[in-house]
Amino acid sequence: MDEVSGEPELEVHEPKSSAAGVTAVAVSMRRAVRQMGVTRSARTLLKLNQADGYDCMSCAWPDPDPENRHTAEFCENGAKAVADEATRVRATPAFFAAHSLAELDAHDERWLGQQGRITHPMVKRPGGTHYEPIDWADAFRLVADTLNGLDSPDQAAFYTSGRASNEAAFTYQLFVRAFGTNNLPDCSNMCHESTSVALSEAIGIGKGSVSLHDVHTADCIVIAGQNPGTNHPRMLQALETAKRRGARIIAINPLREAGLVRFRNPQKPRGVLGRGTEIADLHLPVRVNGDLALFQAIGSLLVGWDAVDHDFIATCTTGYEAWAEHVRAVDWARVEEITGLSRAQITEAAEIIRGSGATVWCWAMGLTQHRNAVATIKELTNLALVRGDIGRPGAGLCPVRGHSNVQGDRTMGIWERSPDSFLDALRDEFGFDPPREHGLDTVRTIQGMRDGTVQVFMGLGGNFVHAAPDTRVVTEALRRTRLTVQVSTKLNRSHLACGETALILPTRGRTERDVHDGVEQFVTVEDSMSAVHASRGPLEPASPTLRSEVQIVTGIARATLGDRYGIDWAAMGRDYSVVRGHISRVVPGCEDYEAKVVRPGGFTMPHPPRDSRTFPTRSGKAEITVSPMDVVQVPEGHLVLQTLRSHDQFNTTIYGLSDRYRGVEGGRRVVFVHPDDLAALGLADGDLVDISSVWDDDLDRVVEGFRCIAYDTPRGCVAAYYPETNPLVPLDSTAEGSNCPTSKSVVVTLRRGAAPSGDVDAAGDPGSSTTEDHGRPDPQPQHQS
Ligand SMILES: Nc1nc2c(c(=O)[nH]1)N[C@H]1C(S)=C(S)[C@@H](COP(=O)(O)OP(=O)(O)OC[C@H]3O[C@@H](n4cnc5c(=O)[nH]c(N)nc54)[C@H](O)[C@@H]3O)O[C@H]1N2
Ligand SMILES: Nc1nc2c(c(=O)[nH]1)N[C@H]1C(S)=C(S)[C@@H](COP(=O)(O)OP(=O)(O)OC[C@H]3O[C@@H](n4cnc5c(=O)[nH]c(N)nc54)[C@H](O)[C@@H]3O)O[C@H]1N2
Ligand SMILES: [Mo]
């Protein structure tokens, strides 16, 4: 602790060389008991990811078959997510009366989250300084009147965060389309959108093609741009199973992340006590955004060795010849420069792939958030296709999704560009013709609010202000609107970027029971591998006033639309099986939904490439495509910044200040830099710097007071945490084809900064020149390695 400020002090240690193990179990239990108490912790955690329990909200990794689940089928970070939601702390109307908006805005994101569960619907009136309580009926009326007073339904945008259940998502998109717009931006627009676009074009469906069994039985697993030890810890168990069966694992990542190097399985005594399993056989420390070149180089070697699956290529694909010609001609000098890898390292990877009878190809945000992300993912898909790694056991494409139900939300129609077939099915079920013009995605919604064309913003979950790029721009954009509506469990920064009028509609979470008129309701979710199942929370809701997301959405719909089109919103809000009945008739693959979701383990959605090697693309074949080799351009003296997650956060929710595996404790304003880059800039480990990003408009984008950490990252590539660095990501810098913000390749400069004074200015922010970045700079750093 810092004696003056009472804040913990930033400490930097050597990074860890293995993930999980005893510490992980101890940390999760300690956190859970502190927030929930002993009995509540036991009751809650033992139902997590069980067939008769609820689905963990921390990630979309699938559950094993019901018969193969452990008593404790969760990870450290899942336990933190549960403890965070099931906390006994409450943000009541008295709390909001005691704190003005300006006061709340002076606190950091972690403090906001620590104020506990919001208990009552709250409103900020025009000109108001505080949130005050409002009745549910009045809140719904307020939303309805504002929406109905717009000149056009397209002046409203309806955001979804990927935690919403299928039932909430389905009713929400139905309401939005019945209201008359396709403005359905979602967190996926900032996440795996590049994946959805690339896979839809290449294989005809935007989803991964593997099951958990495929991962267990693969010969080789490629993990590109993903940090499973922190973000999908239960994946490590699957990797360990695969390793024991002899799989070889290639990690492609600028950083040597602990979970990729070694894993100590806390579920097994051997894992707890022993040295653990070596996870990666080969780690390729690729330079940020070097993957496209790397995959083309691997392709070049495979073609040169004739190590491709000619039968599969001939029967199932198009475009092979053009691609083979393109990759045969790769310029190796350029490949080595772009990737920072030697030809020998790349050859070693290609040899492992050549020797593998079945490869699973995994990726996450390290591939999706670059300007050329769609091309990069198509190139990875090319490798899977030429190896015939689709639609056979132990092989396939495995985009590892983030939010626990982000994939299900898309299946349910949360998409600003849903295809006509889906809209036709909605029309046939509900008797109205949904709008056909594509709606706004996340980036375009922000542009619309900024430019005044979007007047109402509603968020079904999430924390738009801190999740979106260009924090200052998005804050100001939201403040220009007439009405902001946030359906939330806990306080976050987005509640402080208010429209003229602002509503907080508090909701029940996954951990909580949902009983209407004495009948217990359940919801359904879909994981990263297309398995759909039921989820039932065990706890009493945080407050009796709370409503479920389905009740809130149907309540707003009823208030706004009355009985337009004769849609029975009240019935759907009362009994979710009515919603599931509609889902079964609208969503392909969900026939007989009610019966299938209650089976233990649920059911798996159809996936033509996986199930029968059929490809619903334009050509009817899987499309092997040619992309020019390119990379983000970094001018002399500049660096490329990737923004990533620490081990102690869930997206914008900051649980604590311990990024244990990377050796950072007690603070988050740090930037990881190669020691030679530090030296070249005249800096040293421990120095404080300001980070500025470079973009061709006139906005100054700077975050201040970041402590440099000399770190094992490729030359020219630096890393810092999201969301503190979101003010640096330019709104207009997005991936070609998917419009996903380029959060993993931001061109920046580092400049020696002034030591923080310790005084907090009016905006509560001593460390940033942008008004919205409220992170306190860490007090005087101390090096301990
Ligand atoms: N505990 C916890 N779990 C989570 C989340 C959380 O915040 N906390 N978030 C959830 C969500 S929504 C998501 S989308 C997922 C995110 O899961 P990840 O994608 O694992 O998340 P990031 O921290 O963004 O990590 C990206 C990884 O990509 C690497 N990387 C960066 N740039 C490049 C590059 O150019 N090439 C390559 N090959 N690698 C690169 C980084 O070093 C890092 O290891 O996790 C989900 N699960
Ligand atoms: N720079 C940078 N920016 C990024 C990323 C990055 O890697 N770098 N990653 C991007 C990615 S992958 C994603 S997915 C987005 C995440 O974007 P979001 O999904 O918008 O953000 P979260 O932080 O997950 O949302 C947290 C809030 O959700 C609310 N909440 C929690 N549980 C519930 C619930 O059950 N119901 C409701 N209604 N609300 C709930 C709480 O109020 C909490 O404050 O951020 C993106 N932004
Ligand atoms: Mo995500």
- Looking at the fold, whether 333 and 203 belong to one and the same domain comes out as yes
Rounded CA-CA distance 625/320 in Å is 8
- Angle of CA points 341, 343, 348, to nearest 5°: 95
Q: What is the CATH number of the domain that holds 458?
A: 3.40.50.740
Residue with tokens 């056979």: 392
- Looking at the fold, whether 43 and 158 belong to one and the same domain comes out as no
pLDDT for the residue numbered 769: 39
Rounded CA-CA distance 159/494 in Å is 12
Is the pTM for the entire model greater than 0.85? yes
6 band by pLDDT with thresholds 50, 70 and 90: low
In the chain, pLDDT over 70 holds for what percent of residues? 92
Task: Pick the atom of ligand 1 nearest to 653's CA.
Answer: 7
- Its domain, for residue 19, covers 11-85
746 falls within a domain? yes
719 falls within a domain? yes
Q: Can you read off the two tokens belonging to residue 44?
A: 């809650």
- Looking at the fold, whether 75 and 174 belong to one and the same domain comes out as no
Pocket of ligand 2, beta carbon within 6 A: 161-163, 187, 190-191, 365, 402-403, 460-464, 467, 487-490, 492, 507, 509-510, 549, 643, 651-653, 722, 726, 729, 743
- Looking at the fold, whether 547 and 668 belong to one and the same domain comes out as no
- Looking at the fold, whether 156 and 231 belong to one and the same domain comes out as no
pLDDT for the residue numbered 275: 57
Q: What is the pLDDT of residues 283-309, one digit of tens each?
A: 999 999 999 999 999 999 999 999 999
- Looking at the fold, whether 368 and 413 belong to one and the same domain comes out as no
Most confident residue range from 2-16, 432-446, 515-529: 432-446
- Looking at the fold, whether 333 and 226 belong to one and the same domain comes out as yes
- Looking at the fold, whether 209 and 330 belong to one and the same domain comes out as yes
Rounded CA-CA distance 538/513 in Å is 6
Q: What is the pLDDT of residues 182-222, one digit of tens each?
A: 999 999 999 999 999 999 999 999 999 999 999 999 999 99
- Testing ligand 1's pocket by substitution, the residue of 110, 227, 409, 648 carrying the most ligand atoms inside 8 A of its CB is 227
User: In total, how many domains does the chain have?
Assistant: 4
Domain boundary among 362, 378, 399: 399
Tell me the torsion sign for CA atoms 420, 425, 426, 431: positive
Q: What is the pLDDT of residues 343-363, one digit of tens each?
A: 999 999 999 999 999 999 999
- Looking at the fold, whether 300 and 393 belong to one and the same domain comes out as yes
pLDDT for the residue numbered 708: 98
Domain boundary among 33, 63, 85: 85
Q: Which residues pair with 654 in a beta bridge?
A: 649
State in Å: Cα 90 to ligand 2 middle. 20
Q: Which residues pair with 515 in a beta bridge?
A: 520
Pocket of ligand 1, beta carbon within 6 A: 58-59, 77, 191, 224-227, 230-232, 252-255, 257, 286, 288-289, 291, 364-366, 402-403, 642, 644-645, 649-651, 744
607 falls within a domain? no
- Looking at the fold, whether 431 and 503 belong to one and the same domain comes out as yes
Q: What is the CATH number of the domain that holds 248?
A: 3.40.228.10
615 falls within a domain? no
Secondary structure (DSSP) of 578-592: HHHHHHHHHSTT-TT
First to last CA, the chain: 18
595 band by pLDDT with thresholds 50, 70 and 90: very high
Q: What is the pLDDT of residues 122-169, one digit of tens each?
A: 999 999 999 999 999 999 999 999 999 999 999 999 999 999 999 999
CB 626 within 8 A of CB 322: yes
pLDDT for the residue numbered 781: 34
2 falls within a domain? no
- Looking at the fold, whether 167 and 208 belong to one and the same domain comes out as no
Kindly report the average pLDDT of the chain as a whole number.
Answer: 92
Rounded CA-CA distance 418/51 in Å is 31
- Helix extents (H) in 587-720: 593-597, 608-612, 675-680
- Which amino acid is it at 32? A
222 falls within a domain? yes
Lowest-pLDDT range of 65-74, 368-377, 698-707: 65-74
Domain boundary among 399, 421, 442: 399
7 band by pLDDT with thresholds 50, 70 and 90: low
CB 418 within 8 A of CB 410: no
Rounded CA-CA distance 80/91 in Å is 19
| Burial (CB count within 10 angstroms: exposed 0-12, middle 13-18, buried 19+), residue 574 | middle
- Looking at the fold, whether 272 and 343 belong to one and the same domain comes out as yes
